[in-house]
């Protein structure tokens, strides 16, 4: 009889501890999912940046360049800088998300949410401007490799926009 009472008494704190750990773990998994998606996107950015650099190196290494090649080089250079910039912004977003997840005091939560929202909206605007620029540039490109790279960059920026949109929806659901 006595052992049953101790078992029951030890059961509830253990159960509550398990439920609390499950709750914390579930929110942590959501944050890890976003971080994993960001990391995957960043790997795609790095890969595409390397392809842009290789294409630019081929243009420069040509014995004689034509006006179309010089134009393609300039277009690749500009979009490559957009890719580098967006990759850095994802680093900043990752840090903002990590720091915001560490905020526990209720009065500081709105500030951390504001920082995340600002970074997300800045990145959304940057993506929108980048996609518009690429779409205006594509019709002027005569080189098939440059066209392919620009289309890949545009698609990557659109994927980034989708991720930022999902992040916004998840943040709205949390509130």
pLDDT tens digits, 13-54: 554 454 444 444 444 445 568 889 999 999 999 999 999 999
The domain tally of the chain equals: 1
Residues of the chain with pLDDT under 50: 1-2, 5-9, 11-12, 15-16, 18-29
Question: Is 58 among the domain residues?
Answer: yes
Determine the pLDDT at residue 167.
Answer: 86
Instruction: Quote the tokens at residue 122.
Output: 């800045």
Question: Is 101 among the domain residues?
Answer: yes
State the Cα–Cα distance between residues 100 and 117, nearest whole angstrom: 11
Determine the pLDDT at residue 175.
Answer: 54
Residue 128: CB atoms within 10 Å = 12
- Domain of 88? 42-174
Question: Is 5 among the domain residues?
Answer: no
Question: Is 49 among the domain residues?
Answer: yes
Determine the pLDDT at residue 86.
Answer: 96
Question: Is 161 among the domain residues?
Answer: yes
Question: Is 17 among the domain residues?
Answer: no
Determine the pLDDT at residue 173.
Answer: 58
């Amino acid at each position: 009889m006595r052992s049953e009472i101790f078992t029951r008494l030890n059961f509830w704190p253990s159960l509550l501890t398990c439920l609390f750990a499950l709750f914390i773990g579930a929110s942590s998994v959501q944050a890890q999912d976003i971080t994993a998606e960001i990391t995957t996107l960043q790997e795609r950015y790095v890969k595409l940046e390397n392809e842009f650099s290789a294409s630019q190196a081929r243009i420069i290494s040509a014995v004689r360049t034509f006006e179309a090649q010089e134009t393609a080089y300039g277009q690749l250079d500009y979009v490559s800088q957009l890719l580098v910039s967006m990759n850095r912004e994802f680093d900043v977003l990752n840090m903002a998300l990590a720091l915001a997840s560490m905020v526990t005091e209720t009065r500081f939560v709105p500030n951390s949410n504001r920082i995340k929202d600002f970074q997300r909206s800045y990145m959304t605007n940057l993506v929108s401007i980048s996609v518009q620029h690429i779409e205006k540039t594509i019709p002027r490109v005569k080189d098939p490799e440059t066209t392919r790279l620009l289309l890949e960059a545009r698609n990557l920026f659109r994927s980034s926009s989708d991720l930022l949109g999902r992040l916004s929806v998840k943040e709205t659901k949390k509130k």
